[in-house]
Amino acid sequence: MCADFSKELNPQQLAVVTDNEGPLLVLAGAGSGKTRSIIYRCAWLLKEKQVPPWNILVVTFTNKAARELQERLQNLLGFPVRSLWVGTFHHVCSRILRSEAASLPFGSNFSIYDQDDQASLLKKIYKEHNLDRQKFPIQRVLTRIGRYKNRLLLPEDLSSTHAVDSRGNRWQDDFENGVLRIYGLYQQKLLLNQALDFDDILLYTAKLLQDNSAVRAKYGQMFRYVMIDEYQDTNQAQFEIVYQIAKDHQRVCVVGDDDQAIYSFRGATIRNILEFEQDYSNVRSIRLEQNYRSTTGILDLANAIIRHNRRRHRKDLWSDLGKGEKPQLLNHQNETEEANQTAKMVVRLHAEGVPYGQIAVLYRTNAQSRVFEYAFLQEEIPHAIVGSLHFYQRKEIRDLLAYLAVLSNPSDAESLLRIINEPPRGIGQTTVNRLLAHAAKTRGTLYQALQNSASIEEIGPSLKKKLVEFSEKLDDWRKLAREAPVLDLVKELMDYLDLVNLYKQSKDPKDISRVENLIEFVGSVSEFSERWAEEHDTPPRLDDFLPFVALQTDMDRMDSGADSVRLMTLHNAKGLEFGCVFIVGLEDELLPHRMSLDSHEAIEEERRLFYVGVTRAKTRLFLSYAKCRRLYDTFYYTKPSQFLQELDESLFAGSNDQTDFTPAPRHRPKTRHRITEKDKQFRIGQQVWHSEYGKGMVLSVDGIGSSARLTVSFVSGKLAKIIGTFVSTEPL
């Protein structure tokens, strides 16, 4: 088998496959065949070393990557490997938590709350405790809570004696102390609902492995060989999970590329891959530098970009795919011209034989997509925006999933509140409030209150009848859920609720698509059931299906087969590849983003983001920027990205104009006046300065002139509503 492998792998990849008796750091450059290396490493362990599949753990970045790995491994071996543990961190940890529920403060049938569920829960907490949503913005609070959890800090770990910031200073302001209180209330609600959010899944797994020696020993012995893909994207909690599992045997192989570390806003820390050699003893390192995706012209540019970063493992990508075309650098008068010209070039590429599905337009922010959407519509170019509202987030699907969640976990009050009058059955908010009051009075759950509704004096006879009927039906479905395959349960729900006919009778055109979505949902359950039955020789139950749905991501659902141009942010492009790539909006304050300009570390991450975009291209790469850009209701001159100014012009094939990297003047076109302290007009996206909070960016404007009411996000982290007279339009 080794001889066969040597024909199919380069020497560095073969070393990754066969070196498996200690900690191994694989620095895999973009397009270097890291997935292939992981697959062959699994095959080597299974065939050559006769390692049982249940002793191997492979953690991937997406569920889609996990499925592809299993399929390719099966094709390589010629037989399925069903008991191999392959999945995302959330998938693997969810399985561990459900297995070890006896050691945890929640049951094995816990619900998994997404961002909408989290926000809904906080809204109820705010209402119950009379909390000010302006003082404690929900999304900002959730971000703070997520940071605590990534640092493995529960509310009890954040008492006043431990409430310190990243510099070790004790918190003094009301906001941080308020967040601590909200965090405690939030976790209480989650446990009452027998629910976890995504961060909880990692936090509780990490703490379980840290604190429970028996559980730690169990999984350390079970997972004798551990492989982690995209290690540069791991956070503190994920690091701890891997470390605890592998700490005794040290057979851990991490694969990643510090040059593609772009998710710090999600809590990922580049230190995990940069300091792997300090975390484990006798680490061996292998660099995968041969690129199998891109031509040399594209790689020369990529290497030149990333060389300017200081905090990195040195790598130089190379390819034997030929020189190819050098990237083109294009400048345009404004963003509209940039979009129109890009659309015309796409039309030309397609006429030359390039499929639409092999073309991508990448940008820094979602807001940039608008002008490209319009331009593509005008040219009748089929296109799809990656990262829009995904299937399982659509209202009618969330309603159906809420039914399933309650049947699995009756303590899930959020899901029960969503369905109690959906579709309408005459149970209004007043009745719901009386159920909630009864639950609070009896210290029970909302589901228990529903079951006891016949004895609640405050509820009238006709409403009691409706509540009892609904409760009895839920009980019947819960019994069915325990006995029947999930597909049968879903069909029963659909038939009883008659949602398809309900939406068909509607006069709202949107409801037609809702019917299609519901039909598609049944199809997705059927597809899942078939796949599960093949792997487990038994049809799945409800508790098998719900974790699968809860842990899906946007990238898992992207249809790679559709022949349409992809419009997406640079972040969403990670892990993908296209024949032709356009990277647009290469201007300072867009890339690098304006909120990154004051931090060297942030600038380096923005440069890595640019690098990721460039390395998505196989054969053709187009870079562009606009000389003038509209922001809110005015225009301003831009400056080409500093990342472009770092590059030698010889790396490019040329441009549509004499490319000049000399900074453009920072003033308004003559048709528009420059904002000054004298007239003080504000626009969204404008930089302002405050004597206490420092530099910030205007998020919203209500009114005109100095009396305008502004929402400003400050670099310091402060989000404030301020009258215009209290901020300066020029540096202080």
Which residues are the active-site residues? Answer: 34-35, 229-230, 260, 616
104 by DSSP, 3-state: which?
coil
* Edge-first strand listing for the sheet containing 56-59: 85-87, 56-59, 225-228, 252-256, 24-28, 284-288
- Which CA distances in Å does 602 have to 152, 232, 605, 623? 24, 16, 5, 22
Which of 98, 109, 44, 36 is CA-nearest to residue 68?
36
Q: How far apart are CA 36 and CA 571, in angstroms?
A: 23
**Strand, coil or helix: 15:** helix
Cβ contacts of residue 507 below 8 Å, gap of 6+?
none
Whole-angstrom Cα distance, residue 390 to residue 654? Answer: 39
Residue partners of 441: CB distance under 8 A and separation at least 6? none
Task: Please name the residues in contact with 152: beta carbons below 8 A apart, sequence gap of 6 or more.
Answer: 203, 206, 207, 210, 236, 237, 240
Residue 506: φ, ψ to 5°: -70, 150
Contact 242, 252 (CB under 8 A): yes
Return d(Cα 682, Cα 270) in angstroms, integer: 37
SS3 563: coil
3-state secondary structure of 79: coil
Task: Compute the CA torsion angle 711, 716, 717, 721 (nearest 10 deg).
Answer: -20
707 three-class SS: helix
